[in-house]
Structure 1
Amino acid sequence: MHRMSLCVVGKVLSNKKVNREAFMRVIRRIWQVDDGLDIESVTANMFTFHFRDEDDMSRVISGSPWSFDDALIALERPSGKGTVESLGFNWADFWVQIHQVPLLCMSNDIRWFLGGMIGDVMNVDGGAAGDCVGKFMRVRVSIDIKKSLKRWLRVDVLGDGSETVMVLRYERLPNHCFKCGMVNHVTNECANKEPLPVVNGVEKPPFGLWLRAAGTFRKTHHRQRTETFFHSAQPRNN
C-alpha cells in the first residue's frame, strides 16, 4: 500500500511506439527528482513511476501536462485492487488562459465559474493583486481528454440575451488533432472522415496551433473558492 501510494502510471498518447530507453532518459532529466525515481515499462507506451518521496511525486503531478516527442503523457494514480490495464487515462490537467474577458468579469469570483465551463477547476491565478485584471484569466482545470478541446466560451454576462465570446488558450499543449480537437491523436490519424470546412476556397481546420498559449508564466498559489451567480448561454459546439 505504501509503494502504491507513491506510484503514478503514465501513458504516452501516440499511435507510434515510443523508444523506451529514450523516454526514461528524458523523463529523468526533465523531472529532476531529488530522492530517486524508478521507471518500469509496462507496455509499448505505458510506464509506471515509483517515487521515493511524496513531495517529488506531488511536484511532478502539479507540473503537468508533460509530453514526450510532442505527444501528451496522461498520468493516473492507481488505487484499490485495480490493475494497470483497467486505467482509463481519460483526464489531463492544464493551465488554460481565458482571453477577451470583459472587464466586468475580471474578478476573483467569476473566474471559478468560467473555469467550471471548461473542466473541473483545481486552481486559479488571480495575479499579484488577487483579482484577474490583465490581458487574460488563468485557471487550472482537469479536462476530459475523451472529448474535443473547447475553443471558446459563450457567456451571457448580464442575462440580457447578448453573448460574449471568450477565447481559450492552453499552456504547454502538445500535438493535437486539427480536425476534431482531440489530444490523443494527430490530424493524419483522425478517424473523422468528414471534409474540412472551406473558407475562401481554402480548407480551414476547426482547431490548430492557435490553441497553444505562448510564453512562460509565474508560479501560482491556491486561493479560497467563493460562490458566484452568472448566466451561461445555451450549450453549443465548441
Structure 2
Amino acid sequence: MNVEEVAKLCAALTPKEMEGPLKPLHVNLKARGEKRLACRLVGELLSNKNVNSDAFISVLPKIRKFIEDVEIEVVSGNTFSFTFKNVNDRRQVLLGGPWSFDKVLLVLEATVGKGDVQNMSFNKVAFWVQIHNVHLLCMTVEIMRFLSGMIKEVKEVDEGKSGDYVRKYIQVRVVMNVDEPLRRILRVDVMRDGKEMTMLL
C-alpha cells in the first residue's frame, strides 16, 4: 500500500473512527481519583493581576498550622489546587475563611463530580456580618437565623454563651456572592402591624 492509498483511507474515516473507541475508566482507577479529589480544594485569588504564585505557595502553610502537609499547585493564573493529606485540615480551611493573600481575597471551592475547574464560579465566600439596630424582641437565636436568612445562606449564628443574649448587634456568618453588592439594610415588619423596622449591616 503506497502513501496515496493510505491518505485516501484516512480521508474516508469519520472523526469518531479516527479518535478510536470509547473506553471506560477502570473502576479501581476511578475510586483512587475520587479519594484524592475528596482531599482537594480549588481556590482563586480575585485579582486582575497575576499574584506571585511562588510567594503564595510558600506563605500559606506558614499562616495555618496543618496536621499534615498540603500540596499547592498552580492550575492557571491565579487559580490554585490544594491537596491535603488529612481531611480535617481540608475541612478546617474550608470552614475557617475568609482567606486572603497580599490584600487579595481567596475564594475556595470544594471539588465535586469530576472536579471540572473550568465550570467553577469562585464567587461565594462565607463572611461574618454584624446586624445593628436590633431590638430586644429580636435577640433570640430563631429570629437571628430568620434575619441572617434575609441576607443570604446562613452558615452560623453567634449564639453567645446562653443562646439568647442582649447586645448592641447580632453577628452571623453567611455565604455571600462576591459578584453582587452587599445588602446594607434589612426591612422587617417585626410586630406584623405593617410598620417597618430598619436594621443596618
1:103 match: 136
The one of 85, 94, 110 aligned to 1:77: 110
- Confirm or deny that 1:151 pairs with 2:200: no
CA distance in 2, matches of 1:17, 1:130: 44
Helix, strand or coil at the partner of 2:37: helix
Q: How many pairs were matched up?
A: 168
Which amino acid is 1:102 matched to?
H
- Confirm or deny that 1:33 pairs with 2:66: yes
User: Quick check: 1:13–1:73 contact (8 Å CA) kept in 2?
Assistant: yes
Alignment of 1:183-202 (within 5 A): none
Helix, strand or coil at the partner of 2:154: strand
- Confirm or deny that 1:161 pairs with 2:161: no
CA distance in 2, matches of 1:82, 1:52: 18
Which amino acid is 2:122 matched to?
F
The one of 136, 141, 159 aligned to 1:126: 159
Which amino acid is 2:98 matched to?
P
User: Quick check: 1:155–1:164 contact (8 Å CA) kept in 2?
Assistant: yes
Offset at residue 68 of structure 1 (A): 1.2
Deviation string, structure 1 residues 131-183 (Cα, Å, up to 9, x no partner): 14212111111112221112121212112222222121xxxxxxxxxxxxxxx
User: Quick check: 1:125–1:132 contact (8 Å CA) kept in 2?
Assistant: no
Which amino acid is 1:28 matched to?
P
Give every structure 1 segment of 4 or more consecutive aligned residues whose post-TM-superposition deviation is greater than 3 Å.
none
- Confirm or deny that 1:92 pairs with 2:135: no
CA distance in 1, matches of 2:181, 2:163: 31
Helix, strand or coil at the partner of 1:149: coil
Deviation string, structure 1 residues 10-54 (Cα, Å, up to 9, x no partner): 000111110001111221111221211000001111000000111
User: Quick check: 1:9–1:76 contact (8 Å CA) kept in 2?
Assistant: yes
CA distance in 1, matches of 2:43, 2:76: 11
Offset at residue 82 of structure 1 (A): 4.1
Unaligned segments of structure 1, at least 5 residues: 169-238
User: Quick check: 2:37–2:115 contact (8 Å CA) kept in 1?
Assistant: no
CA distance in 1, matches of 2:144, 2:72: 38
CA RMSD of aligned residues (A): 1.2
TM-score (norm 2): 0.80
Identity of aligned residues (%): 46
1:22 match: 55
User: Quick check: 1:127–1:133 contact (8 Å CA) kept in 2?
Assistant: no
CA distance in 1, matches of 2:101, 2:173: 21
CA distance in 2, matches of 1:151, 1:96: 11
Which amino acid is 2:42 matched to?
V
CA distance in 2, matches of 1:145, 1:159: 32
- Confirm or deny that 1:115 pairs with 2:119: no
CA distance in 2, matches of 1:162, 1:25: 55
1:234 match: none
Unaligned segments of structure 2, at least 5 residues: 1-33
TM-score (norm 1): 0.68
Deviation string, structure 1 residues 42-71 (Cα, Å, up to 9, x no partner): 111100000011111111111110011212
- Confirm or deny that 1:12 pairs with 2:19: no
